[in-house]
Structures are given as structure tokens and as C-alpha cells.
Amino acid sequence: MPSMGLMTTLSLVESGLALMLWVVAFSTRGWSVWSAGPIDVSIGLFTYDAAGTVGDNPTSENPFLTTIALETNGGVLMFAAVGLLAMSVFKKNKLSSVVFMCAAFLSGIFIFAAIGYYKVNSSATINNQKVTGLSIGYSWYLAMISGVLIWSAPGALFAAMRRGEISFGGY
């Protein structure tokens, strides 16, 4: 079996992250995780509020941590999604792939931070205080998008398996 490449290793790490998020979600919310999405999971994970809800209701008692969780999760998801594209475009230049993926990760954080900045006048309130950053009401739509993006990392793994870079049990 050929040695596992750098991009395949990174994809494996991203797949592990995706699996971890879903395990945490299922253990804290049960079957409702399928409608919640990883955005909601990140809120519960980073704010220790697993009983929160997605929609027009606040999900955390700490608006700052909620915003950070959304921004960070957005960056990670974009990192995973672009990883599949990078593996296809830069097949022979691994360094370019890494640079491309890191740029996607950073741009994801800044893009989500910009969204949070322009949504600062959210109508959602927590403890009589306006939510700073991304409106909780928009997290449902982001959850649907991130639910698709987060599976790009496992997709990159399958692509690597087809190219013979990695195999599990002879498959």
C-alpha cells in the first residue's frame, strides 16, 4: 500500500473532527441533531449549553462565545470543503495544496466575522442584552449549509482511496 500522503492525512483529521461533532451532538441532543446541524453543535460545545435551540431563540448565555463559535466553525467547514478541491487541483504540488487550504480556513473565519459584524443589530437578546455578532436567527440556514460542507472531508478520503493513496482492510 502506498504511504499515506499529507493531504490524505489532513482529510483524515477533518473527518475525525466531523465525526466528533456529530457524536457530541447526538449525546447531548439525541435525534434532533439531524435537524440542528454542526453550527448548533459548535454553539453547544464552546458555550457549554447543550440544551439550547436553533432558530429565533437564544442558544447561549454568552453572546461573545456564541459569535466566536459560529465564526470558528465556519472557518473549519470552509477548510474542509476546499480541501477536496485542493486535492483535485494540486495533485503534484502538496505545498500548494496546504497553502490553498490554509488560505480557505483563514478566509472562512474572516467571512463569518464580517457577517457577524453586519448582523450586530440583532433582535435576539440574552439577559436583556443584545446579541453581539451573528444573529441566532440565521444559524439555522448556516447549519443547513455546513451540514453539506462538513462531509467534503470524508469525500476527499474516498477520492484518496480510489487513487490508491490509502486503503482500509484491502478495500
- Per-residue pLDDT reduced to its tens digit, 57-112: 444 444 444 444 444 455 555 555 555 555 555 566 566 556 666 665 565 555 55
* Percent of the chain whose pLDDT exceeds 90: 0
- Per-residue pLDDT reduced to its tens digit, 6-33: 555 555 565 566 556 555 545 554 444 4
Query: Alpha carbon of 127 to those of 59, 62, 63, 124, 130: distances in Å?
Result: 12, 9, 10, 10, 8
User: What ranges do the domains of the chain cover?
Assistant: 6-162
Q: Which residues of 126-157 are buried (b: 16+ CB within 10 A; e: fewer)?
A: beeeebebbbbbbbbebbeebbebbebbbbbb
**pTM value?**
0.31
